[in-house]
A and B are shown apart, each in its own frame.
Chain A
């Protein structure tokens, strides 16, 4: 079945550092890929998405490119802020489009 593997956390960075959170997936067909962010005590919010190979999703300085050849969707940001501290989830839709499969999540802490 479908699966998503994220790099293990937690990740701790200093403000203005470069961020990469790795995400690889296994799926049949052509899934859509998503990154969600969860701030403390809140539900998940969509951060960005990509729906086909070579698409780049971007939002709030975060970017991720849908790489079908490496089955990856790594999240990057050039300069993180303290306010980016949260848990980040990579997810894919199944072939029917009705369900999401989530990775385990990566806790990011950014120190001033």
Chain B
């Protein structure tokens, strides 16, 4: 069972470039999330989705966009990369069963450097 798969694992971008971080889950989870983790810090929520066609902003959405056209996929788009977006990005998913008591399942992360 693959769980949550993130691609790529590593990427270096130049300032002003754009890219899409891919996230796919095979657990039929309705809820999906994007976080960023800066060195020595906890996770900050960027965007989340409670189902296909529905997305909402988290704590730090500026500079990012998302879409959710299918249950399985939740890509994160950086339009104009800035050095402040250098971070490790984690995607997660959760079953909708039970309000709040289901854990989130995380991918292994995408390490992004912007130079």
Binary flags per residue of B96-115, CB closer than 8 Å to A gives 1, else 0: 00111101111111000000
Partner of B42, one of A49, A98, A104: A104
Interface size on A, residues (CB 8 A): 24
Q: Is B74 interfacial (CB-CB < 8 Å)?
A: no
Q: How many A-B residue pairs have CB under 8 A?
A: 57
Interface residues of A in 73-112 (CB under 8 A from B): 89, 93-100, 102-105
Contacts of A44 on B, CB cut-off 8 Å? 43, 90, 92, 104, 106
Contact A49 B99 (CB under 8 A): no
Residue of A nearest to B41 (CB): A104
Among the interface residues B4, B31, B106, B108, which one has the most CB atoms of the partner chain A within 10 A? B106
Q: Is A46 interfacial (CB-CB < 8 Å)?
A: yes
Instruction: Contacts A34-B103, A44-B106 given; indicate if A102 touches B50 (C-beta within 8 A).
Output: no
Contact B99 A89 (CB under 8 A): no
Instruction: Contacts A43-B106, A46-B103 given; indicate if A99 touches B90 (C-beta within 8 A).
Output: no
Binary flags per residue of B63-94, CB closer than 8 Å to A gives 1, else 0: 00000000000000000000000000010100
Interface set of B (CB-CB < 8 Å, partner A)? 4, 31, 33, 41-43, 45, 48, 50, 58, 90, 92, 98-101, 103-109
